[in-house]
Amino acid sequence: MTEQTAEQELRSRRARSFGASASAYAEHRPDYPLPALRWGLPEKAEHVLDLAAGTGKLSEGLLALGLRVTAVEPDPEMRAELVRRLPDVPALDGKAESIPVPDTSVDAVVVGQAFHWFDVEAALTEIARVTRPGGTVAALWNHDDIEVPWVAEFGERARTGVSRRWTVPGSELLHHDGFEEFERTRFPHAQRRTAESLVDTVATHSHFLVISAAEREAKLAELREFLARTPETAHGEFDLPIVTTVLRAARKA
Residue 81 inside a domain? The answer is: yes
Q: Could you report the per-residue pLDDT of 50-63, keeping only the tens digit for each?
A: 999 999 999 999 99
Q: Record the pTM.
A: 0.87
Residue 49 inside a domain? The answer is: yes
Q: What is the mean pLDDT of the segment spanning 223-245?
A: 97
Which pLDDT value is given to residue 98? 97
Q: Could you report the per-residue pLDDT of 165-204, keeping only the tens digit for each?
A: 555 556 567 899 999 999 999 999 999 999 999 999 988 8
Domain enclosing residue 29, as ranges = 3-144+165-192+241-250
Residue 135 inside a domain? The answer is: yes
Q: What percent of the chain has pLDDT over 90?
A: 73
Residue 219 inside a domain? The answer is: no
Angle at 203 between CA 199 and CA 205, to 5 degrees: 125
pLDDT at residue 13 is higher than 80 = no
Residue 215 inside a domain? The answer is: no
pLDDT at residue 20 is higher than 70 = no
Which pLDDT value is given to residue 204? 87
Which pLDDT value is given to residue 205? 84
d(CA 238, CA 54): 26
Q: Could you tell me which residue, 203 or 111, shows the higher pLDDT?
A: 111
Which pLDDT value is given to residue 107? 98
Q: Could you report the per-residue pLDDT of 118-165, keeping only the tens digit for each?
A: 999 999 999 999 999 999 999 999 999 999 999 999 999 988 765 655
Sheet holding 106-112, edge to edge: 91-92, 68-72, 47-51, 106-112, 131-144, 238-250, 183-193
pLDDT at residue 211 is higher than 90 = no
What CATH number should be reported for the domain holding residue 58?
Answer: 3.40.50.150
Residue 224 inside a domain? The answer is: no
Of the candidate ranges 6-10, 113-117, 222-226, the one whose mean pLDDT is the lowest: 6-10
Which pLDDT value is given to residue 105? 98
Q: Could you report the per-residue pLDDT of 32-79, keeping only the tens digit for each?
A: 999 999 999 999 999 999 999 999 999 999 999 999 999 999 999 999
What pLDDT band is residue 25 in, cutting at 50, 70 and 90?
A: confident
Which pLDDT value is given to residue 28? 84
Residue 233 inside a domain? The answer is: no
Q: What is the mean pLDDT of the segment spanning 199-213?
A: 83
User: What is the DSSP secondary-structure string of the chain?
Assistant: --HHHHHHHHHHHHHT-SGGGHHHHHHHS----HHHHHHHSPTT--EEEEET-TTSHHHHHHHHTT-EEEEE-S-HHHHHHHHHH-TTS-EE--BTTB--S-TT-EEEEEEES-GGGS-HHHHHHHHHHHEEEEEEEEEEEEEE-TTSHHHHHHHHHT--TT---PPPPPTTT---TTB---EEEEEEEEEEE-HHHHHHHHTTSHHHHTS-HHHHHHHHHHHHHHHHTSTTTSSS-EEEEEEEEEEEEEBP-
Q: What is the mean pLDDT of the segment spanning 233-238?
A: 96
Residue 67 inside a domain? The answer is: yes
Number of domains in the chain: 1
